[in-house]
Structure 1
Amino acid sequence: MKILETALPGCLLIEQPQFNDNRGCFRELYVQQRYQAAGITEPLLQDNLSLSGKGVIRGMHFQRQQPQGKLVTVLSGKIYDVMVDIRPTSRTFGQWQAIELSAELPQQLWIPPGFAHGFQALADNSLVFYKTSSYYNAQDEGAFNAFDPQLNIPWPVKEAVLSGKDSQAPAFQQVFNRGR
């Protein structure tokens, strides 16, 4: 397992070993000891799975009182994964980074608590599996507009599909009530 730092402190791109042969491939998605040795010590309590068609954007979401760390893996297809630092005292508050994740590459993305998260499917039938460090609580969920001009995230698929709730999400600055 190879750990690569991203531009946002605490967010990690994880390259995993994958074993290929004439039958296909094998990859261990999560071995607690290895992740703890890499500094990911939060307990991972809940597994989530989403299936999206090309252009679907899921996000930008976060939990207010019980922030979730997320270990993201693409099982089929390809996504444009976006993380935004929402830690009020962070020097990178309001900054974002995007990383393409694909089922073709044995990679995962660790997004620690304190980040908003969203992604856009770049292929039909993009299957995304992620483990979270706290349980989902609908009353604790927050969101901001994925197309906020202040953040200016260049979503690659122009014909985006969003849920009704996500399309009505407020601007980043309205949610966090401070400038960048």
Structure 2
Amino acid sequence: MKAVPVAGIDGVYLFEPTPHVDERGFFSRTFDREVVKSVGIDPDGFAQDSLSRSAKGVVRGMHLRSGAGEAKLVRCSFGEVFDVVVDLRRDSPTFGNKEFFALSGESQISVYIPAGCAHGFQALTAPADVSYRIDRPHNPAEDVSIAFDDPELAIPWPLPPTLLSARDRTAPSLAEALERL
């Protein structure tokens, strides 16, 4: 497994595994504490693992947390997603930058998203399972959502959105969300 820094957003890393493939399928390490530690991320700093399953076309996001924020390690364990990260850390040299990733069960690549960055994805397959390793227990009072279709973000979602949660359908604009951070 190797860690690859993402040039467009400071502190974002892709963790690319080296799967062992044979006639049975593959075996792949999806987390390596020493590789994570080598780029300055505390491997013991994660507090919970979560999993979402989405139907094709579902958009989840854009989400982040206020207060201390929330760092996460995200991987599509089955299917494929179009993954989006937006740097909303006002003191970051890459504030406002966006990056897009193709995450899939085939590649098992993980993306590390630092606290203060918004995250979302769209399922490109049915189903698409996304695994999250999160650094703090969830506190709903800190949830911040941003309209997935905010013109200021101009995210090029690859499919027409099929389903959104009530929270995502009514999410405020980027400008309004920034006031909560």
TM-score tier (shorter): over 0.9
Aligned length: 177
- Find out whether 1:114 has 2:125 as its counterpart: no
Using the TM superposition, give the Cα deviation of residue 106 of structure 1 relative to its aligned residue in structure 2, in angstroms: 3.0
The answer to whether the 8 A contact 1:72-1:108 is kept is yes
Q: Distance in 2 between matches of 1:143 and 1:59?
A: 7
Kindly state the Cα deviation for residue 94 of structure 1 after the two structures are TM-superposed: 2.1
Aligned-partner SS, 1:75: strand
Map residues 55-66 of structure 1 onto 2, 5 A cutoff. 55-66=57-68
Q: Distance in 2 between matches of 1:21 and 1:44?
A: 32
1:2 maps to 2
**2:55 aligns with one of 29, 53, 60:** 53
Unaligned runs of 5+ in 2: none
Structure 1 stretches (4+) deviating beyond 3 angstroms? Answer: none
What is the CA–CA distance in structure 2 between the aligned matches of 1:12 and 1:28, rounded to whole Å? 16
User: Is this contact kept in 1: 2:13–2:112, CA < 8 A?
Assistant: yes
CA distance in 2, matches of 1:88, 1:14: 25
Tell me the residue number matched to 1:24: 25
Shift of 1:173: 0.8
Which residue pairs with 2:40 in the alignment? Answer: 39
The root-mean-square deviation of aligned C-alpha atoms, in Å, is 1.3
Q: Are the aligned partners of 1:45 and 1:131 in contact in 2 as well (CA < 8 Å)?
A: yes
- Cα distance in structure 2, aligned partners of 1:64 and 1:156: 28
Corresponding position: 1:158 with 2:160: yes
* Cα distance in 1 for residues equivalent to 2:3 and 2:36: 10
Letter in 2 for 1:35: V
Distance 1:20 1:143 in 2: 39
For the residues of structure 1 that align with 2:15 and 2:34, how far apart are their CA atoms? Answer: 14
Paired residue secondary structure (1:40): coil
Q: Is the CA contact 1:66–1:134 (under 8 Å) kept in the aligned structure 2?
A: no
- Please report how far the alpha carbon of residue 39 of structure 1 lies from its aligned counterpart in structure 2 after TM superposition: 2.3
**Contact 1:82–1:99 (CA<8 Å) still a contact in 2?**
yes
- 1:2 deviation in Å? 2.0
Gaps of 5+ in 1: none
Output one character per residue of 1:37-87: Cα deviation in whole Å (capped at 9) or x when no partner: 232226111101000011101111111013111111111100011011111
Bigger mean CA offset, 110-119 vs 159-168: 159-168
**TM-score of the superposition, structure 2-length normalised?**
0.92
Matched residue SS, 2:168: helix
**Contact kept in structure 2, 1:54 and 1:126, CA below 8 Å:** yes
Contact in 1 for aligned 2:3/2:36 (Cα 8 Å):
no
Q: Report if the CA contact (8 A) 1:51-1:128 is conserved.
A: yes
CA-to-aligned-CA distance 1:127-161 (integer Å, 9 cap, x gap):
11110111111011111101000110010111432
Contact 1:76 1:126 in 2 (8 A): yes
